[in-house]
Amino acid sequence: GENVEQHPSTLSVQEGDSAVIKCTYSDSASNYFPWYKQELGKGPQLIIDIRSNVGEKKDQRIAVTLNKTAKHFSLHITETQPEDSAVYFCAAGGSTLGRLYFGRGTQLTVWP
Amino acid sequence: GAVVSQHPSWVICKSGTSVKIECRSLDFQATTMFWYRQFPKQSLMLMATSNEGSKATYEQGVEKDKFLINHASLTLSTLTVTSAHPEDSSFYICSAGREWGTGELFFGEGSRLTVL
């Protein structure tokens, strides 16, 4: 099955700086790569996703890049704010209907 | 975006009792829903795939008699933790997708189960 690795496990940045979280996957058949933000005690919330037919997608301060050849994708958050502090999960899927494989998560802390 | 609702958001029960958690897709029909379990500071562990009108598919190592899943309609799936014990205490999360083939999933808010 698919194996998703996520780094770093923790990330601390100063407000206004950028944050980058990286993931790799193993199954070349995966074609859907979402990123979720999870706040304490809540369910994951989809913040951005990318499909294998594009290399980059941007939504305001958030962007995701995908390198299918190298099997890695990254989340970029610019101009970070304290409210961006949360756990972020990457996932890969598409090879099995509806099934997503998750990374281990990154605890992002943005200091004011 | 699509909304998936879970109920209850938290529940405390005595050891040996059964607890039912509901997962509803509020603005779309979901033929398949997924149930996850999450331990503190860990990732989501897929427990089972809930299929409307048929038996759920359980992941390896998940006891199907312990975690009963019923998907009786296109908008509702339930997870029943039977004869709960303290080790069953966890955060349970469901998800559903609106369009299959795209892989896009929306998650419920989660249910915190504490077994005394």
CA B93 and chain centroid, separation: 5
What's the pLDDT at B72?
Answer: 82
Q: Which DSSP state fits B66?
A: T
Most confident of A61-75, A89-103, B42-56, B84-98: A61-75
Residue A4's CB is within 10 A of a number of other CB atoms, namely: 24
In terms of phi and psi (left: phi > 0; alpha: psi -120 to 50; beta: otherwise), the region of A81 is beta
Q: Which among B41, B42, B100 is the nearest to A97, CB-wise?
A: B100
**A96 or B38, which is more confident?**
B38
pLDDT at B22 exceeding the cut of 70: yes
pLDDT reading at B102 higher than 90:
no
Contact A98 B97 (CB under 8 A): yes
pLDDT at A45: 92
Q: Which residue in B43, B100, B108 is closest to A98 by CB distance?
A: B100
Single-letter code of the amino acid located at B35: W
Give me the sheet containing A4-7, strands edge to edge: A4-7, A19-25, A72-77, A62-67, A56-59
| Minimal Cβ distance to B43: which of A51, A93, A105 | A105
Mean pLDDT of the region A73-95: 94
In one-letter notation, the amino acid at residue A76 is H
Kindly identify which residue of chain B lies nearest to residue A100, measuring between CA atoms. Answer: B103
The proportion of chain B whose per-residue pLDDT surpasses 70, expressed as a percent, equals 93
pLDDT > 70 fraction of chain A, expressed in percent and rounded: 97
Contact list, B104 vs chain A (CB under 8 Å):
32, 34, 46, 49
The predicted model gives B7-29 an average pLDDT of 94
And the tokens for B24?
Answer: 């509803």
* pLDDT classification of B99: cutoffs 50, 70, 90: low
Mean pLDDT of all residues in chain A? 93
pLDDT computed for residue B104 by the predictor: 74
For chain B, list residues whose CB is within 8 angstroms of any CB belonging to chain A: 1, 4, 6, 32, 34, 41-44, 46, 49, 91, 93, 97, 100-110, 112
A-B contacts (CB, under 8 Å):
61
Which tokens is B35 given? 């149930």
Q: Which residues of A touch B101 (CB under 8 A)?
A: 97
| Alpha-helix residue ranges (DSSP H) falling in A32-90 | none
Q: How far apart are CA B14 and CA B84, in angstroms?
A: 8
Q: Which two tokens stand for residue B88?
A: 């069953």
- For residue A64, the model assigns a pLDDT of 98
Mean pLDDT is lowest, of A64-68, A97-101, B108-112, for A97-101
- Give the per-residue pLDDT at B51: 84
> A87 Cβ partners below 8 Å, 6+ apart?
A37, A38, A39, A105, A106, A107, A108
Chain B: give the shortest CA distance to residue A82, in Å. Answer: 20
Distance in Å, alpha carbon of B63 to nearest chain A alpha carbon:
20
Give B73-114 as a DSSP string.
Answer: ETTEEEEEE-S--GGG-EEEEEEE-SSTTT---EE---EEEE
In angstroms, the CA A83 to CA B79 distance is 32
What is the reported pLDDT for B53?
83
Mind listing the pLDDT tens digit for each residue in B44-74?
A: 999 999 888 888 999 999 999 999 999 888 8
